[in-house]
């Protein structure tokens, strides 16, 4: 089998920019209302952000050991395949290719267009065409060179932190609301309501695993993969908790819940209309960078599957551009699917569906650490997860709690996600028999 090679061009700084840039995107700006609403009280909302961070960090610490031991392009798809067998890897790759990455890109493009309407009034159709236009631009840039995608990621990561830190700093200093209390303003303060709130935070924390898809393009993956994942998630967790404390310090939680775009409203309250416009522009940069990260890393999944003939049109999708050495055809596939989702879904529906399906595989992936340690000798595992086995168990139990509470709270979305996953089974067996 002839393997198409991708250029090793990503260093530690760019890898960290991918992790932080993919995590801090639209969720921090668009999910607070959903999280506080489901939690029922502002204090429980803050706890949900902390819990989501702990679950993500425990999972990230664990996956980092697997990533360092198996530093191959394709990320979790490869880990599941090597640890549990072809079918587990295929089903994740199927879900990531068909819905997860393109739907995430679509949700982010929708969010970008929504922020753009702060400056130029756009109706629903105009927003969707705006979303499609910015997506096409990013596809072209990533086809020309992975390095361009990395540069976009680094610049946008720096740019997106400006509005985030501005709101944290001025929100904590100038806020007059001080609304951190366990008093419920909405009747959702149950364990399952908290579970739904944590699910909302997990969309905001999602993205840390994306850098593993590009392991084959890192200059020193065994060293840089675990470093970029761990440092990135720890930084983001601190930022998210402080950011949401700042929000309820500026306006009451009830106002956050009832606003269509609470962070924009708070930015205007803190900095006036002109200052608010700058903050919204920073939010657009944030979403733009995250969209780029999802597109850049998502295209590596069908590329890796095509290399193993585990996806339809594998001869087409497994080719890299002869001049640019980028996975052009896989980028075009993900872009096409994202455009379809842009014109068919809404932000919250897409993001909730994505997170439920992905956490099924995340839980299995975290459990893979026990399999890895049986299969791979210690000298071939350059990084070891701290507090083993407690850390992976936190990730497994936390993820399982999320899955159960989601099934109970949103059974329709849960079963749709499971159905889409199981549709991959006949594709898997057809390709297996055909090849």
Range of lowest pLDDT (74-83, 101-110, 310-319):
310-319
Please tell me the predicted confidence (pLDDT) of residue 47.
92
pLDDT average, residue stretch 375-402: 87
DSSP SS3 for 148: helix
Task: Give the model confidence (pLDDT) of 37-71 as tens digits.
Answer: 888 888 888 999 999 889 888 888 898 888 888 87
Please tell me the predicted confidence (pLDDT) of residue 373.
93
The chain-wide mean pLDDT, for the chain, equals 81
Within its chain, how far is the Cα of 303 from the centroid?
A: 19
CATH of the domain at 94: 1.20.1740.10
Number of domains into which the chain is organized: 1
Cα separation, 329 vs 363, in Å, equals 30
Please tell me the predicted confidence (pLDDT) of residue 4.
45
Domain that holds residue 367: 12-434
Domain-located, residue 6: no
pLDDT band at 185 (very low <50, low <70, confident <90, very high): low
pLDDT band at 153 (very low <50, low <70, confident <90, very high): low
Residue 160 has pLDDT above 80, yes or no: no
Residue 274 has pLDDT above 70, yes or no: yes
pLDDT average, residue stretch 287-315: 80
Domain-located, residue 32: yes
**Percentage of the chain with pLDDT > 90?**
10
Domain-located, residue 5: no
Domain-located, residue 427: yes
Domain-located, residue 4: no
Domain-located, residue 351: yes
Domain-located, residue 2: no
pLDDT average, residue stretch 156-180: 81
Domain-located, residue 325: yes
DSSP 352-410: HHHHHHHHHHHHHHHHHHHHHHHHS-GGG-SS--TTTTHHHHHHHHHHHHHHHHHHHH-
Predicted TM-score (pTM) of the model is 0.75
Residue 433 has pLDDT above 70, yes or no: yes
Q: How far is CA 403 from CA 38, 62, 396, 409, 423, in A?
A: 16, 19, 11, 10, 20
Range of lowest pLDDT (108-117, 192-201, 313-322):
313-322
Residue 392 has pLDDT above 90, yes or no: yes
Most confident listed range (192-196, 222-226, 324-328, 358-362) = 358-362
């Amino acid at each position: 089998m002839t393997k198409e090679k991708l250029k090793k061009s990503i260093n530690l700084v760019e890898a960290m920019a991918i992790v932080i840039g993919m995590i801090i995107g639209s969720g921090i700006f668009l999910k607070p209302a959903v999280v506080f609403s489901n939690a029922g009280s502002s204090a429980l909302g803050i706890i949900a952000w902390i819990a989501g961070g702990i679950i993500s960090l425990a999972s990230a610490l664990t996956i980092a050991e697997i990533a360092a031991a198996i530093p191959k392009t394709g990320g979790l798809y490869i880990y599941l395949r090597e640890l549990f067998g072809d079918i587990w890897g295929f089903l994740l790759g199927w879900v990531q290719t068909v819905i997860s990455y393109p739907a995430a890109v679509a949700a982010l493009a929708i969010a970008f267009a929504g922020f753009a309407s702060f400056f130029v009034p756009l109706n629903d159709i105009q927003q969707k065409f705006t979303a499609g236009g910015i997506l096409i631009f990013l596809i072209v840039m990533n086809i020309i060179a992975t390095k361009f995608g990395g540069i976009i990621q680094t610049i946008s990561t720096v740019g997106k932190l400006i509005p985030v830190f501005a709101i944290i700093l001025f929100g904590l200093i100038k806020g007059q609301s001080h609304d951190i209390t366990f008093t419920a303003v909405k009747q959702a303060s149950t364990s399952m309501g908290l579970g739904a709130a944590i699910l909302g935070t997990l969309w905001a924390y999602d993205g840390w695993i994306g850098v593993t898809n590009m392991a084959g393009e890192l200059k020193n993956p065994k060293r840089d993969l675990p470093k970029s994942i761990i440092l990135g998630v720890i930084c983001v967790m601190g930022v998210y908790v402080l950011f949401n404390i700042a929000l309820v310090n500026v306006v009451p939680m009830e106002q956050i819940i009832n606003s269509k775009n609470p962070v924009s409203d708070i930015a205007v309250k803190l900095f006036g209309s002109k200052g608010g416009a700058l903050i919204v522009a920073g939010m657009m940069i944030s979403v733009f960078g995250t969209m780029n990260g999802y597109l850049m890393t998502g295209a590596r999944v069908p590329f890796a599957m095509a290399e193993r003939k585990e996806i339809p049109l594998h001869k087409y999708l497994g080719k890299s551009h002869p001049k640019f050495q980028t996975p052009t055809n896989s980028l075009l596939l993900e872009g096409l699917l994202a455009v379809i989702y842009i014109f068919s879904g809404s932000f919250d529906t897409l993001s909730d569906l994505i997170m439920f399906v992905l956490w099924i595989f995340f839980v299995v992936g975290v459990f893979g650490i026990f399999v890895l340690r049986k299969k791979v000798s210690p000298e071939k595992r350059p990084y070891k997860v701290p507090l083993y086995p407690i850390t992976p168990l936190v990730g497994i139990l936390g993820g399982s709690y999320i899955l159960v509470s989601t099934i109970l709270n949103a059974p329709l979305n849960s079963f749709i996600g499971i159905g889409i996953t199981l549709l991959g089974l006949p594709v898997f067996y057809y390709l297996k028999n055909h090849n």
